[in-house]
Structure 1
Amino acid sequence: MTERTTCLVAGGGPAGMVLGLLLARAGVDVTVLEKHADFLRDFRGDTVHPSTQTLLDELGLGERFAALPQSRLHEVVVPSGEGPDLVIADFRKLRVPHPDVAMVPQWDLLDLLADAGREEEHFHLRMDTEVVDLLREGGRVTGVRYRTADGRTGEIAAELTIGCDGRWSTVRRLAGLRPHEYPVPIDVWWFRLPREGDERQTLTPGMRNAQFAVTIPREGYFQIAYVARKGLDAQLRAEGLDGFRARVAEVLPELADRVEKLESMDDVKHLDVRLNLLRRWHADGVLCIGDAAHAMSPIGGVGINLAVQDAVATARLLAGPLRRGRVSRRDLARVHRRRWLPTVLVQGIQRMMHRAVIGPVIEGRRSGPPPLATRLAKLVPAARSVPAYLIGVGLLPEHAPAFARRP
């Protein structure tokens, strides 16, 4: 038998869980399918930006979020090599309720959202359930076929299917929506090292000897992003653990005394960085948002923030049509129009950062940020609030609609 729901959300990441919760609070019957048995995956992107923290407050979840284990980022700092470090972004300059970036394991945030969703009668979360095909009728997408971890298959009919299933989106592929790919010169390798009493709360890039890395303070450890030219993964693994340790010690000499704590190359997770954008985010009966519509570079850590804002805008714009039981292509186009400009502008900034900052470093042409940016940051300290706002708040922040707010 074919089951039924009003809105089928594929993917239980931040966009999918926020969207499911908001629509359920609007009285829309919504089913979220997550292909994994739990949310426990490392290095998924654990930044919770000021605008997302404000959203959680508006949803009545601020106290629950504050109780999660977390650390706080206040600045983005570049070591100058001589003299004081250069502050590129200072989140404390922002006039917002939460002037910092919270570093929270994403599985904890997703569990919080799932628990809040289960309190709503119209919210249904099904783990271990993967979308494998789309149902169609007269050219319109009318739901999905799914497969569970134990091999059981079934169908769920839906007025609207929304792909929140990431940059390798199954929904996007099955719907025939193809993103435009922008060239990206870098990949990222994630790993962790112990803090060993180091209490700094700043995001600190290291740039030297044609290498680039970023140190992110977490509860009890540093999360490290080693950035190098795209396609280098096989070479790094061929060099082995000792070779990788030497690379890290060279680009982050302040952590050279603990690189031996990296015990295996299996602990180094490769991210194939992609930057792409759907020209059209929807077809009849189906919509893609978040990474399914626009994969982002990890530069600035803004991908999650954009995905959550996509979800809020989608819930606000589509709750009414979903309650009425009919969502038109014009309704879906409104979501695309609302979120297209901030997405394009942020991706433009990321492409510029690839060309002007990271590219010259990994090519050995420079060992620091552009001189003009350095002079500006020193001469005009107030300029630090500009990148802080772009990273922390975004170009078009979205707020919880009235139907989703709780005291």
Structure 2
Amino acid sequence: MGSASETVGSVPEHTDVIVVGARCAGSATAIELARAGRRVVVLDAAAFPSDTLSTHLLWPAGVVELRDLGALERVLGSGAPRLTTALAAGAGFEIRSRFPDVTGIDYALCVRRPALDAALVATARAAGAEVRERCRVHELIRHDGRIAGVRYRDHDRVERELRAPLVIGADGRASTVARLVAAGDPHRSEPSGRDCYFAYWTDPHEDRRQIAAQWREGPLLGTAFPCDDGLMLCLVQPPAGYAGRGPGAAEAAYRAAVAGIPALHNRLRGCERVGRVRSATGLISWFRRSSGPGWALPGDSGHFKDPVTAQGIRDALRYGRLLGAAAAPALDDPAALDRALRSWAWRRERECAAMYRWTNRLARGEAMGPLEIELYRAAARDPRLAAATLEVMSRTRAPSRILDPARLVVLTARAFRNSRGRRGDLVSQVADEVRGIAEGWLQRPAHLSTAQQSPNR
């Protein structure tokens, strides 16, 4: 006969929604569902606060999502400074601009994941969601062709069964839920041309702690984002394969890339590194099939972009929140729920497609081309154009409205005059931009028709 704990663990529980993963996408989804009066159980293998491999800049639109979820005051309690100014420099040109206002928010934030995720978990609990920590899902329950629950091991390693009409896999790029519903292979993907290395530094330069900065030097890209606890996130993205192999490769690649960007190296004077270099290599941007009978994949589990444009957390928060809003009124009707999930997945792909393409271009790991140099040159002289580029990052302006046909013609003519030795590069870059504009006008996201298929039995 089994122990008492094993007997209790064998009795199935029931709830309205199970959310696997309590970080950005999972907490956002749970908050919205709980606010709608639904019973939500969130399962996460971590104990909070805890860290995870992630960069974590939030443009103003991302801060808006924190506000709308009711988490902003808790996040601001971390002490992260309000980043009111953006700086971007490359090819001898420097663009500096205040962040534009997005529905009352005119600053960015960079908050390390232990503080950010703990604030989101606390907000989810305050909204009425039950968050169970140190619980690892290992199996999905199926009934009549639908996902109907999970089996997991709790913090005492007791196996438990939890049933619900909806299981949400907010468990990251290596999603267990995505794998178990056979949605692990993306239907649209592109490998990044950059690797990512980052570390934290003390930051005694109070006069610079309101500036989010990025520098380009040849194919190298580096950033300095002041964050909580008086620290600064310093990230570099050299071309893929920049590092060697073996112990110490990430450290060597990081040091070499920082040294190869003089302005970034200068920003770090007087700063002291705290902790080790972290790395993310072999990155692939994707869209996965993100809904099916009784399941959905918000956050990185369903859609991931290279960190070069710092969009992941904003999208996890926004589309987690929208998933909760879409699912809450439909949970009692399986057909209505499936329609709501398909509509949500379609909306995310449609709304994220332009930024996905823009991100993939910036992630190519190449030096700035003639057309991009002319864009920097123009934005350095024109404050309105500089502000417009920040609106793209905050998702209030489409990328196609920066290099629209009229501006493309003007910048191409200027680049032709100023790049006599690189006109072949110019022709290639202009052709690429024209393709991008055409995609923005003509291409529609591929409909996830396979989302209607039943999960494997």
| TM-score normalised by L of structure 2 | 0.75
Match of 2:315 in 1: 306
Whether 2:158 is the aligned partner of 1:183: answer: no
Q: 2:83 aligns with which of 67, 73, 91?
A: 73
Query: In the alignment, is residue 11 of structure 1 matched against residue 11 of structure 2?
Result: no
Q: Describe the shift of the 1:156–1:204 C-alpha distance in structure 2 as closer, same or farther (beyond 3 A).
A: same
Tell me, yes or no, if structure 1 residue 159 matches structure 2 residue 165: yes
The equivalent position to 1:336 in structure 2, one of 321, 345, 349, is: 345
Equivalent residue for 1:102?
109
Check the 8 A contact 1:215/1:225 in 2, yes or no.
Answer: yes
2:279 alignment partner, SS class: strand
Do the aligned partners of residues 131 and 274 (structure 1) sit closer, same or farther apart at CA in structure 2, a change above 3 Å counting?
same
Aligned match for 2:216, one of 207, 218, 232: 207
Q: Deviations over 1:330-359 (max 9, x none)?
A: 22111112211122111111012224xxx2
Which of 119, 122, 133 is the equivalent residue of 2:126? 119
Equivalent residue for 1:387, pick from 363, 385, 389: 389
Offset, 1:185: 0.9
The whole-number CA distance in structure 2 between the counterparts of 1:390 and 1:36 is 34
**TM-superposed deviation, 1:295:** 1.1
Q: 2:32 aligns with which of 5, 22, 25?
A: 22
What's the counterpart of residue 440 of structure 2? Answer: none
**Superposition deviation, residue 244 in structure 1:** 4.6
Residue-by-residue CA offset, 1:337-388 (whole Å, 9 max, x unaligned): 2211122111111012224xxx223xxxx59992221132034321223222
Q: Which moved more, 1:367-376 or 1:69-78?
A: 367-376
Distance (whole Å) between structure 2 residues aligned to residue 339 and residue 128 of structure 1:
30
| Residue in structure 2 matching 1:194, options 173, 180, 202 | 202
Aligned to 1:404: none
For structure 1, which segment, 234-243 or 62-71, has the greater mean C-alpha deviation from structure 2 after superposition? 234-243
Instruction: List alignment gaps of at least 5 residues for structure 1.
Output: 397-407
How far apart, CA to CA, are the structure 1 residues paired with 2:237 and 2:20?
Answer: 31
Aligned partners of 2:335, 2:317: CA distance in 1, in Å? 24
- What is the DSSP-based 3-state SS (H/G/I as helix, E as strand, rest coil) of the residue aligned with 1:182? strand
Match for 1:315 among 301, 307, 324? Answer: 324
Q: Which letter does structure 2 place at the counterpart of 1:306?
A: D
Contact 2:380–2:386, Cα closer than 8 Å, also in 1:
no
1:403 corresponds to which residue? none
Instruction: Tell me: higher relative CO, structure 1 or 2? Use CA pairs within 8 A at least 6 residues apart.
Output: 1
Aligned-residue offset at 1:329 = 2.1
The structure with the larger Rg is: 2
* Identity rate, percent: 23
CA drift of 1:274 comes to: 2.4
CA–CA distance in 2 between the matches of 1:328 and 1:96?
Answer: 31
> Cα RMSD over matched residues?
2.8
Superposed displacement of residue 29, structure 1: 0.8
Aligned 1:167-178 pairs, distance under 5 A: 167-177=173-183, 178=185
In the superposition, relative to structure 1, how do residues 102 and 34 fare at CA in structure 2: closer, same or farther (>3 Å)? Answer: same
The count of corresponding residues between Structure 1 and Structure 2 is 381
The answer on whether the counterparts of 1:76 and 1:203 sit within 8 Å (CA) in structure 2 is yes
Partner of 1:291 in structure 2? 300
Preserved contact between residue 86 and residue 213 of structure 2 (Cα < 8 Å): yes
The residue aligned with 1:353 is: 362
1:133 matched to 2:143? The reply is no
TM-score (norm 1): 0.84
Separation in structure 1 between the aligned mates of residue 21 and residue 133 of structure 2, nearest angstrom: 10
**Structure-2 change in CA distance of 1:56 and 1:193 (3 Å):** closer
1:345 alignment partner, SS class:
helix
Closer/same/farther in 2, CA of residues 321 and 119 from structure 1, 3 Å limit: same
- Counterpart residue number, 1:147: 153
CA contact (8 A) 1:313 1:338 kept: no
Shift of 1:119: 3.1
Q: Distance in 1 between matches of 2:87 and 2:50?
A: 30
Of 377, 382, 390, the residue aligned with 2:379 is 377
8 Å Cα contact 1:159-1:327 kept in structure 2: no
Q: Secondary structure at the match of 1:228?
A: coil
